[in-house]
Amino acid sequence: MTLLSVEDLKVHFDIRGGLFGTKKGSIKAVDGISFSIEQGQTYGLVGESGSGKTTSGRAIIGLNNITSGKVMFGNQDLAQKNRKDFVDVRRDIQMIFQDPYSSLNPRKRILDIIAEPLRNFERLSPIEEKRRVRELLEQVGLSSETIYKYPHEFSGGQRQRIGIARAIALKPKLIIADEPVSALDLSVQAQVLNFLRELQQELKLTYLIISHDLGIIRHMCDHIGIMYKGRYVEQGTTSDIFNNPQHIYTKRLITAIPDIDPLQRARQSELRAAAKKEYDSLYKSQFDEEGLAFPLRSISTTHKAALPEGG
């Protein structure tokens, strides 16, 4: 069953200038991407900074205005809703933000931070609310006795778990995780990622994970979309992308993944050099005159790549 379906999503930002702030042009942050996520699965949006991946996630949840396209969540088109209308779907779509240090209000106790969505959508008595917050803290692996502490009293990994507790408080169907572990140490990253997988199985969650790190995406995702300058360059299952990459940009991203095996480092350096050489030599033929990706072409039933005609 398809939970989220995105069709030809476009998010453009106006460039204005002059005395009267007239429109001079537009920045095409997201320029026509399409994908769908089955219930209980994980979809990964990957790309470098400025590729449009975070803008896509923010548009889906209503934090950025959608220029055109469809965002079907169940039988509702989110692209047709204004911010006030989003209230009825917000309990079903929650977001885990990138920075666990700035996404939590430093002046609020953990009790108030986690209880905020409960206060917005559910009418609980103070006793019921406190019991629910304690249950959520225990669910994310934190002591229930920490409800009166403040964010600065926790480590980065603990703060991200608090953010996760807030996200799952309303038992959502979809969680959008924007770089959920990029601000954490490597050892803590693994703990949080494994914890997210456990939560997914326990609560039957669906994830849209946004990241620049293909290693994380490979570990977490069933399907992947690779973005470059607001467009897809490749889309497919995790196996399609990693075992049969077609686009030069995808190949270069994959070879950039660090290899922890010291015996493979020389081989990895050779692969990176070969990928860079191919990228430099084929760049003009693999992108259009504006340096943008061509429309996606089918490689298989699950695999698409932005290759030129005859490429």
Provide the pLDDT for residue 141: 86
Tell me the C-alpha to C-alpha distance, in Å, between residue 47 and each of 2, 67, 224, 284: 24, 21, 11, 20
Provide the pLDDT for residue 281: 94
Provide the pLDDT for residue 303: 97
144 within domain boundaries = no
CA distance 223 to 211: 13
pLDDT in tens, 120-148: 898 899 999 999 999 999 988 899 889 99
The count of structural domains within the chain is 1
155 within domain boundaries = no
Q: Which two tokens stand for residue 250?
A: 């995808």
CB atoms under 10 Å from CB of 148, counted, come to 10
Provide the pLDDT for residue 106: 92
Provide the pLDDT for residue 187: 77
CA distance 73 to 92: 10
Domain of residue 177, CATH code: 3.40.50.300
Q: Which domain holds residue 267?
A: 2-16+23-92+170-305
* Model confidence band, residue 100 (pLDDT cutoffs 50, 70, 90): confident
DSSP letters for 48-109: -TTSSHHHHHHHHHTSS---EEEEEETTEEGGG--TTTTHHHHTTEEEE-S-TTTSS-TTS-
Three-state SS at 35: strand
174 within domain boundaries = yes
112 within domain boundaries = no
118 within domain boundaries = no
CA distance 187 to 193: 10
CA distance 18 to 113: 43
pLDDT in tens, 213-267: 888 899 999 999 999 999 999 999 999 999 999 999 999 999 988 877 788 888 8
Length of the chain: 311
Looking at residues 302-308, what average pLDDT do you find?
95
Terminal-to-terminal C-alpha distance of the chain: 34
138 within domain boundaries = no
Burial (CB < 10 A; 0-12, 13-18, 19+), residue 114, is: buried
Q: Is 310 a residue whose pLDDT tops 70? A: no
Provide the pLDDT for residue 107: 93
Mean residue pLDDT across the chain:
91
pLDDT in tens, 171-214: 999 999 998 888 777 778 888 888 899 999 999 999 999 999 88
Residues of the chain with pLDDT > 90: what percent?
Answer: 65
Tell me the C-alpha to C-alpha distance, in Å, between residue 142 and each of 71, 134, 136, 139: 35, 9, 9, 7
pLDDT in tens, 256-271: 888 777 888 888 889 8
159 within domain boundaries = no
* Model confidence band, residue 311 (pLDDT cutoffs 50, 70, 90): low
Provide the pLDDT for residue 261: 79
Read off φ and ψ for residue 38, nearest 5 degrees: -80, 150
Residue 175 is which amino acid? I
| CA proximity to 299, closest of 221, 232, 252, 253 | 232
Provide the pLDDT for residue 84: 72
Residue 304 or residue 91, greater confidence = 304
129 within domain boundaries = no
